[in-house]
Amino acid sequence: MPSLDSLFRPESVAIVGASPGKSGQMFLDSVLSSDFKGKVHAVNSAAQEVSGLAGYRSLLDIPGKVDYVVCCAPAPAVPQLVRDCAEKNVTAMAVFTAGFAESGTDRGKELEAEVSRLARASGVRVIGPNCLGIYSPGIGLAFASDFPLERGRVGLMCQSGGNFVYLVRAAAYRGVRFSKAISYGNACDVNECDLLEYFLEDEETDAVAVYMEGTKGGQRLSQVLRSLAAEKLVVVLKGGHSPAGARTAASHTGSLAGSDQVWDELLHQSGAIRVYSLEETVDMLVTLSFLPGVQGRKVCVLGGGGGASVLATDDWADYGFGLPPLAEVLRNELRSTVPTEAGLILGNPLDLSGLAYSDGFYNLSRKLVAMEGFVDLSVVHISLGMAFWSSASSFGEQIDAFRDAMIKIAGYSGRPLAVVMQYSVTGWDWQKGVEDIQRGCAAAGLPVYHSMSGAAKAVDRFLRYREAEARG
Amino acid sequence: MPSLDSLFRPESVAIVGASPGKSGQMFLDSVLSSDFKGKVHAVNSAAQEVSGLAGYRSLLDIPGKVDYVVCCAPAPAVPQLVRDCAEKNVTAMAVFTAGFAESGTDRGKELEAEVSRLARASGVRVIGPNCLGIYSPGIGLAFASDFPLERGRVGLMCQSGGNFVYLVRAAAYRGVRFSKAISYGNACDVNECDLLEYFLEDEETDAVAVYMEGTKGGQRLSQVLRSLAAEKLVVVLKGGHSPAGARTAASHTGSLAGSDQVWDELLHQSGAIRVYSLEETVDMLVTLSFLPGVQGRKVCVLGGGGGASVLATDDWADYGFGLPPLAEVLRNELRSTVPTEAGLILGNPLDLSGLAYSDGFYNLSRKLVAMEGFVDLSVVHISLGMAFWSSASSFGEQIDAFRDAMIKIAGYSGRPLAVVMQYSVTGWDWQKGVEDIQRGCAAAGLPVYHSMSGAAKAVDRFLRYREAEARG
């Protein structure tokens, strides 16, 4: 079977079913507004002009070559379209259209089987049906206008279109960048095993995130996943792990979800990191993208709030991390600079509520984070309690000062540093402020988490993966 | 010991240490900008005017009576201030100042012991030290300008000031309202047992949220908590459950945190609901405030996204809930109105991605939610995948339509309905949109959760509490 690499590098794209006002036009507009440099064509049965492009009545009417087709045509038209693709020497077609095996109807199952047969016979690779297809930042090809067009080192394969969009957006918003990504739906031709094998070979991909609901080949999946996880970091979210969830998965992508015990063994033996929610998946991608150098379980927590510091200590302890005490010399220095009445916890955790956003905070944090041999990871958190008297104008300045301090400290120390921020807690100004901090930190290569326990869980999973790897 | 009720109903307040530019002035400004109708006085050693008020040199110089004092004066001045309070017949004093037992110094411990002795000898009730004191919406008294001044039925007692502010803000932002709330710090006089007893008697309080780090009287705590939990719903977050966290708690509020095994038994036997994070605490308060009528474990999930529906099914299944199948007659109706090509899951969960925000969505949801005997709780979720092609203007309309539909459905059906929304996933427009939905839904008495698993966990805990109650 030829490499799937050409799927991610088409030089010309055609959207079939690109009628004005329909989903095909939305696909078309997204591709037109992305950074794709190749030719883009529109096909619709009425040969109507759409988004400023001529509409071809048939794929076969397009002059010149077409590498990648996105199909938004009705399901019954899809088999003929595979034949047209073969005639036109199209490399791959992503079928957005649903109404195949996932519908549970005989007609849908037959259609899917036919598409699958035609794909195999012709060599045209079919992605889906019931999927969104390819997002390939390297060639500027995206199907939503807010997907980043910068290239990264994370591959993504996702059986659900909605979850694909969530993962790309949420991870991208926190600074993660992708090498190649694919939403692959019902997997009637290009399937999870093909994609895992592809990512194993792909030199542009260092880590792979997987959302899957089922497989048709457990034996092969087990082998491929094991090979991939031996070379690259793999994060797997299995949708439909409960019996009820497995039934829902069957109506979603027509997947045979299988028993969770079997999946758990398969994933565990493969060496992949198993996660259980979209949020955990994003936390893992943030961790492997921005904290690849974390070596151990000693953590220093600094930032705002006594009660927040107590709960933060619990969170790290719950996941097997320790907070080593601050050297006595540093405690003395702290005692001489911080007034006792401030009621701060001068140790590890270090509660700097009253000093946050100040030069004192910056200098102390810089010193602690940079200290060789003290901890493996420093975590700065900001808590709402600190900001409760701020006026709107000073709040904006504090946000800027905090963000800039974090970025400077990270640059100065070169040591692992993470930021934890509480979200969605109070009114608009605060919310916009924490988003500004996140954006700035993420752009500077700093991991941002939305809860302390989320950070601890992700770093723990990452370290357990590294420990297992070290044991061989 | 007299009731603590008068603590929450002062008719006149004095801020001691209210010097211009200091924390005392911030307290003063917050009280002045709240809805407190009584007299407000400022005391500072220089007798300086502050925020437009005359500054008295001493508490004793204030003409007329003072019921409640907030002390921001330095720690060594606090014992004399208790004596002044006694002379002035002050009911209670909240000591914001820190530098007492939590500092770990002999001087700090001695000072706290002295304040405690003076309080007991004089009958002046001291709250703290190292606390924020009273938030009493019923009399319009608040110490942060974004605390709601509407009264509710939830009591809150919190040993940490920062966590107090988080809990009030995050819960209020999601529609929870409080009867009385207190940040009680080191608990040198008014302690956790006094407060639990008070909330047991208080007729304005139906449920109590507790954040505590330790106790000086385990025996009494066990009895009082049991009495309270027998009458009212009690949610407890114990800070410092790990050994490391317990050490942090000792530096925070001087608490003896004790072993977690003892705490776990104590809390379990008392009948309180134990939670493990601030986020879980807020989810519980939202649940008991807005879903008191949930009777069982049958759930209907409707809204957007096939993959999101699969994961939602898993989340509810993980917490022991079932999604009963949709009646065949309704499935047929759905099949006749929804095109197969849409690739939707027409069952329970019901994936309405393509129809979301439409009249069809509204009508179907209304019918499902109102259906007697079908489920105990309906949950609507919106997922990002749905919105990925929206233009900015239509997005705003969709937000309004979705929010209005939810509010109408809840009003029409009168049955338990919850909304789940993904937060902090992508750019600003989306984020502001979900905040708008949350605000509107919360104001209309609808519970909003930030993840499906958070909702399932909270409703499960609530039902387990009710089940235990029913068993007696």
> B25-50, pLDDT tens digit by residue?
989 999 999 999 999 999 999 999 99
pLDDT for B1 equals 46
DSSP structure string for A338-368: S-GGG---BSSSEE-GGGTTSHHHHHHHHHH
Rounded Cα distance between A46 and A199, Å, is 40
Q: Give the residue-averaged pLDDT of B305-317.
A: 95
Name the residue facing B385 among A161, A308, A388 (closest C-beta): A161
A389: confidence class by pLDDT, cuts 50, 70, 90: low
B357: confidence class by pLDDT, cuts 50, 70, 90: low
pLDDT for A357 equals 59
Could you read off the pLDDT of B335-350 as tens digits, one per residue? 777 765 566 777 899 8
Pick the CATH number of A1-132 from 3.30.56.10, 3.30.1330.40, 3.30.70.120, 3.40.50.720: 3.40.50.720
pLDDT for A382 equals 82
Q: Look at residue B332 and tell me whether its pLDDT is greater than 90.
A: no
B259: confidence class by pLDDT, cuts 50, 70, 90: confident
The domain A292-471 belongs to what CATH superfamily?
A: Succinyl-CoA synthetase domains (3.40.50.261)
A305: confidence class by pLDDT, cuts 50, 70, 90: confident
Chain A interface mutation, best of B109, B186, B314, B332, highest count of A Cβ atoms under 10 Å? B314
Q: Look at residue B15 and tell me whether its pLDDT is greater than 50.
A: yes
**Is A244–B313 a contact, with Cβ atoms under 8 angstroms apart?**
yes
**Is B427–A278 a contact, with Cβ atoms under 8 angstroms apart?**
no
Q: Look at residue B387 and tell me whether its pLDDT is greater than 60.
A: no
According to CATH, where is 3.40.50.261 located in chain A?
Answer: 150-290, 292-471
Rounded Cα distance between B288 and B233, Å, is 8
Q: What average pLDDT does chain A have?
A: 91
Query: A420 and A455 in contact (C-beta within 8 Å)?
Result: yes
Q: Give the residue-averaged pLDDT of B66-83.
A: 97
Chain B residues with CB under 8 Å of A245 CB are 310-311, 313-314, 317
Q: What percent of chain A has pLDDT over 90?
A: 69
Q: Give the residue-averaged pLDDT of A151-165.
A: 95
Chain B residues with CB under 8 Å of A71 CB are none
Return the minimum-mean-pLDDT range out of A100-114, A303-317, B186-200, B416-430.
B416-430
Name the residue facing A239 among B97, B244, B310 (closest C-beta): B310
Distance from CA of A448 to the nearest CA of B (A): 12
How many Cα atoms occupy the beta-carbon half-sphere of B299 within 13 Å? 28
Q: Look at residue A144 and tell me whether its pLDDT is greater than 80.
A: yes
Could you read off the pLDDT of A227-257 as tens digits, one per residue? 999 999 999 999 999 999 998 888 888 777 6
Rounded Cα distance between A246 and A260, Å, is 9
pLDDT for A206 equals 97
pLDDT for A1 equals 46
Say whether B296 sits in a helix, a strand or coil. Answer: coil
Name the residue facing A307 among B146, B162, B423 (closest C-beta): B162
Rounded Cα distance between A127 and A120, Å, is 12
Nearest partner of A173 among A155, A153, A149, A147, judged by Cα: A147
Name the residue facing A26 among B213, B346, B389 (closest C-beta): B389
**Is B343–A251 a contact, with Cβ atoms under 8 angstroms apart?**
no
Which residue reads 């943030």 in tokens?
A286
Name the residue facing A309 among B252, B342, B344 (closest C-beta): B252
List the Cα angle A349/A352/A356 in 5-degree steps. 140
Distance from CA of B472 to the nearest CA of A (A): 32
Chain B interface mutation, best of A388, A426, A435, highest count of B Cβ atoms under 10 Å? A388
**Is B318–A389 a contact, with Cβ atoms under 8 angstroms apart?**
no
pLDDT for B399 equals 82
Chain A residues with CB under 8 Å of B424 CB are 170, 173, 423-424, 435, 438, 450
Name the residue facing A163 among B108, B308, B322 (closest C-beta): B308
Contacts of A294 (CB under 8 A, 6+ apart): A376, A377, A416, A459, A462, A463
Name the residue facing A341 among B29, B97, B423 (closest C-beta): B97
Distance of CA B403 to the CA centre of its chain: 23
Nearest partner of A266 among A317, A308, A228, A313, judged by Cα: A228
Chain A residues with CB under 8 Å of B105 CB are 340
**ipTM confidence score:** 0.95
pLDDT for B471 equals 85
Q: Give the residue-averaged pLDDT of A426-448.
A: 87
B391: confidence class by pLDDT, cuts 50, 70, 90: low
pLDDT for A401 equals 83
- Identify each DSSP E strand in B394-434 by its residue range: 417-421
Nearest partner of B107 among A340, A372, A262, A140, judged by Cα: A340
A333: confidence class by pLDDT, cuts 50, 70, 90: confident
Q: Which amino acid is at A210?
A: V
Which is more confidently placed, A335 or A305? A305
Q: Give the residue-averaged pLDDT of A330-349.
A: 75
CATH class in words for B1-130 = alpha beta
Query: B291 and B447 in contact (C-beta within 8 Å)?
Result: yes
Which is more confidently placed, B229 or A362? B229
Chain B interface mutation, best of A105, A159, A341, A453, highest count of B Cβ atoms under 10 Å? A341
If you measure CA to CA, which chain A residue comes closest to B22? A389
Burial (CB count within 10 angstroms: exposed 0-12, middle 13-18, buried 19+), residue A63: exposed
Return the minimum-mean-pLDDT range out of A91-100, A454-463, B79-88, B428-437.
B428-437
Say whether A16 sits in a helix, a strand or coil. Answer: strand
**Is A306–B160 a contact, with Cβ atoms under 8 angstroms apart?**
yes
If you measure CA to CA, which chain B residue comes closest to A30? B389
Q: Two tokens at B203?
A: 């007729």
Q: Look at residue B384 and tell me whether its pLDDT is greater than 70.
A: no
A2: confidence class by pLDDT, cuts 50, 70, 90: low
**Is A314–B74 a contact, with Cβ atoms under 8 angstroms apart?**
no
A3: confidence class by pLDDT, cuts 50, 70, 90: confident
Contacts of B156 (CB under 8 A, 6+ apart): B135, B164, B167, B168, B178, B180, B181, B182, B208, B209, B210
DSSP structure string for A68-102: EEEE-S-GGGHHHHHHHHHHTT-SEEEE----SGG
Distance from CA of B152 to the nearest CA of A (A): 18
Fold classification of B150-290 (topology level)? Rossmann fold (3.40.50)
Rounded Cα distance between A154 and A290, Å, is 12
Query: A268 and A465 in contact (C-beta within 8 Å)?
Result: no
Say whether B161 sits in a helix, a strand or coil. Answer: helix
**Is B424–A347 a contact, with Cβ atoms under 8 angstroms apart?**
no
**Is B278–A245 a contact, with Cβ atoms under 8 angstroms apart?**
no
B356: confidence class by pLDDT, cuts 50, 70, 90: low
Q: Give the residue-averaged pLDDT of A414-440.
A: 86
Name the residue facing B426 among A30, A169, A313 (closest C-beta): A169
- Separation in Å, CA B285 to CA A428, B177, B199, B272, B455: 22, 9, 16, 13, 11
If you measure CA to CA, which chain B residue comes closest to A238? B311
**Is B252–A306 a contact, with Cβ atoms under 8 angstroms apart?**
yes
How many A-B residue pairs are in contact by the CB < 8 A criterion?
280
Q: How many CB atoms lie within 10 A of CB A240?
A: 30
pLDDT for B365 equals 83
B187: confidence class by pLDDT, cuts 50, 70, 90: very high
Chain A residues with CB under 8 Å of B240 CB are 310, 313-314
Q: Look at residue A392 and tell me whether its pLDDT is greater than 70.
A: no
Could you read off the pLDDT of B128-162 as tens digits, one per residue? 999 999 999 999 999 888 899 999 999 999 999 99
pLDDT for B166 equals 93
Maximum separation of any 2 CA atoms in chain B, in Å = 81
According to CATH, where is 3.40.50.720 located in chain A?
Answer: 1-132
pLDDT for B386 equals 56
Q: Look at residue A281 and tell me whether its pLDDT is greater than 90.
A: yes
Rounded Cα distance between B410 and B441, Å, is 10
Sheet holding B92-95, edge to edge: B55-56, B39-43, B12-16, B68-71, B92-95, B125-127
Chain A residues with CB under 8 Å of B243 CB are 317
